[in-house]
Amino acid sequence: MNLGTRHGLDVTGFVTLLAALLLVVGCSPMEVACTEIGASPGVSVTVEKAIAADVAAVRLTVCWDGKCDDHDVQLFAGSDTVDQGCDGTDPDSACSATAVPNGTKVGFAEVPGLPTGTITIGATVRRAGKERVSPKIDVRAEPTYPNGPQCGPQGTQADVMLGASGLR
């Protein structure tokens, strides 16, 4: 029996079809290259523009599983990213953006071991020369994906805003 002509294919066509089928079945999805970039676990803080000029220091109290730890936050001038456009009409032309101060202050408190889930955060704020304690709030901490979800989670992080009435 000639297998190559049974279904109207000659031997060369049959071998080509078989090779193509084996190639398709044997291939797996392409692996995604994940970089060594990581993300530290912690809490980012944005101090609203309305009070930023008066805020000299922030110390966060971060709690979970019945324990709390204090973390000083180094504050920096906040900014917005403004698109500067692209050079020319060539799709491969250089494009740029610039950071423009927005009147806020921002910072990040690294919190080793921060778990995913609900955590409690309070703040002690030195504002206009006086130290004030902001009531604690519950916040959801989530893993970050600096290389995209295909590369797995990195450090767990949460975000809070500090305004005139405290944290939110």
Taking Cα atoms as reference points, which of 133, 108, 106 lies closest to residue 49?
106
64 within 8 A of 140, measured Cβ to Cβ: no
Express each pLDDT in 140-152 by its tens digit: 999 999 999 999 9
| Rg value, the chain, Cα | 28
156: CB partners within 8 A, 6+ apart: 41, 114, 115, 116, 141, 142, 143, 144
166 within 8 A of 47, measured Cβ to Cβ: no
Output the six-digit token pair for 114: 């921060």
Express each pLDDT in 22-70 by its tens digit: 444 444 456 778 988 889 999 999 999 999 999 999 999 999 999 999 9
Residue 57, strand partner residues? 126
Q: What is the pTM of this model?
A: 0.75
